[in-house]
Amino acid sequence: MLRKFILSCLTIAWLLMGNLSPVYCKNSETPPCNRPASLSLQEAIHASLAANPMLSAAHARREASGDRLTQARAGLLPQVYFTQSFQRTTNPMWVLGTKLNQGVMTSGDFAPDLLNNPDAIDNLNSRFWFLWPILDGPAIYGWKQAGLGQNASEKALLRTRQETIARAVEAYADLLSANHQVTVVDQTINTAAAHLKMIQKRFENGMVVKSDVLRARVHLAELEQNRAIARSNAAIARASLNTVMGSATDQDLSLTTQLSKTTDTLSALPELMTTAVSRRPDLKEIELQIKMATSEINKAKAGHWPTLNLNGGYEFNSEDFHDANKNYSIGADLTINLFSGGRITGQSREALNKLSEARYQKQALLQQARLETEKSYYDLISADLRITASELAVQNAEENLRIVTNRYDTGLLNIVSLLDAELATYRCRTSYYTALQDHVKARVRLALAMGTLDENFR
């Protein structure tokens, strides 16, 4: 008694110190610290958008395209530099020039001996200078291309975002369906076990032969194998969903959104096709790539244009940073490419072929978009019809199982009828949840095919 009292006091003291929180669980419950993480579909989508590495890579590509635009724009702006140099020389020509730059030239420096054999001279040159491209055709088109590239990367990011959402929804639906399949096979095993007890009792009473008992046991063993497969599929589906969300693959999850059939009206297929062609981000991306390829042709041809640059400088020359002599220069240079050895022509042809490649890619993507839209459309219709049919089939199969069980118990039917009724019920329930899973996946794939998918998918 004293020992229990001391333990109770220690427990209360520990709780008051905040180092332990009481947990009250029923025998069938798991303590909160070990319960699966509660997760709705919307939470799974947002987690995927926040942590999916492929989407993060697309964000990085978008940022890189913005940096390329900055670089291209900078090529059209004045470039200002500062140079500090030091030189020591006895070269007659450089000695004479250095003295002129330093402003220390005297008449005595023109003596032949000094001109031919000058003393060493030091020079510190501090120079500010600039280069400003006034006319540079390739740089101008490069700037335009960089702007198109940035827009294209935005479309690519949006498409990657949609694909991430689709993967999250599909993985969520797969795990929901897998969990339901485990529940269905568990229920079927419980029913088969109850029937086995009934058959065993009838055998003991001499009402059936031993082969009925053996056949029931074989049937139960096959269901156990199906349960092992179902649990394995559920574990794989859980790992897939965690991977999409960027979480540890073994994190246990408690899904709160249930599989259900939407009541939204499905538009006609031609209307869906039109939406896909006008809304898909990857189609808009390929259109921008075509514009970039067209600009590349103009960029290559601009190699024949003259280039005009302004340049200038302001410098200080001295021997020791004191009494520095100052001077400046400003000018312009015009350059015309008279012969490039076929380089510019080759660049033009290469750009033309890349334009053809981009156009063919657009044609292929258009075909793919139409095919994906049509396939998802018919998959959705098929799934909806299967849901309606399987709902009725489940009701009929369950009622049939009840009737067959009663009749077998009274000796009116054989073991084959009973096991067939069990299997029919099991298959109908499995087909029902599979149809719901396919319905959700067809809906998200249709939205992805049309380019309308976003994080508000329900």
In eight-state DSSP terms, residue 34 is: G
pLDDT value at residue 91 = 92
Read off the tokens for 39.
Answer: 């997760």
Q: What is the pLDDT of residues 393-404, one digit of tens each?
A: 999 999 999 999
Q: How far apart are CA 117 and CA 102, in angstroms?
A: 19
Q: What is the pLDDT of residues 71-101, one digit of tens each?
A: 989 888 999 999 999 999 999 899 888 888 8
Average pLDDT over residues 140-144: 90
Read off the tokens for 401.
Answer: 């199982």
Average pLDDT over residues 17-28: 37
- 230 is a domain residue: yes
Q: How confident is the model at residue 241 (pLDDT cuts 50, 70, 90)?
A: very high
* Structural domain harbouring 183: 41-79+137-305+340-450
pLDDT value at residue 36 = 67
pLDDT value at residue 293 = 93
Give the highest mean pLDDT range of 101-110, 178-187, 253-262: 178-187
- 100 is a domain residue: no
User: 343 and 292 in contact (C-beta within 8 Å)?
Assistant: no
Average pLDDT over residues 144-162: 93
The total number of structural domains in the chain stands at 1
- 19 is a domain residue: no
pLDDT value at residue 250 = 86
pLDDT over 90 at 131, yes or no: yes
Q: How far apart are CA 258 and CA 185, in angstroms?
A: 19
Q: How confident is the model at residue 110 (pLDDT cuts 50, 70, 90)?
A: confident
pLDDT value at residue 11 = 43
Number of residues that this document lists for the chain:
458
b vs e for 216-252, b when ≥16 Cβ sit within 10 Å of the residue's Cβ? beebbeebeebbeebbebbeebbbbbbbbbebeeeee
b vs e for 82-115, b when ≥16 Cβ sit within 10 Å of the residue's Cβ? eeeeeeeeeeeeebbbbbebbeeeeeeeeeeeee
- 319 is a domain residue: no
What are 327's strand-pairing partners? 315
pLDDT value at residue 15 = 39
Q: What is the pLDDT of residues 287-340, one digit of tens each?
A: 999 999 999 999 888 888 999 999 999 999 998 888 888 999 999 999 998 888
From 272, 344, 262, select the one nearest 302 (Cα to Cα): 344
- 364 is a domain residue: yes
Mean residue pLDDT across the chain: 88
pLDDT over 50 at 448, yes or no: yes
Residue 74: which CATH number?
1.20.1600.10
Read off the tokens for 114.
Answer: 């000094």
- 228 is a domain residue: yes
- 53 is a domain residue: yes
- 237 is a domain residue: yes
pLDDT value at residue 35 = 54
Average pLDDT over residues 175-191: 95
pLDDT value at residue 4 = 46
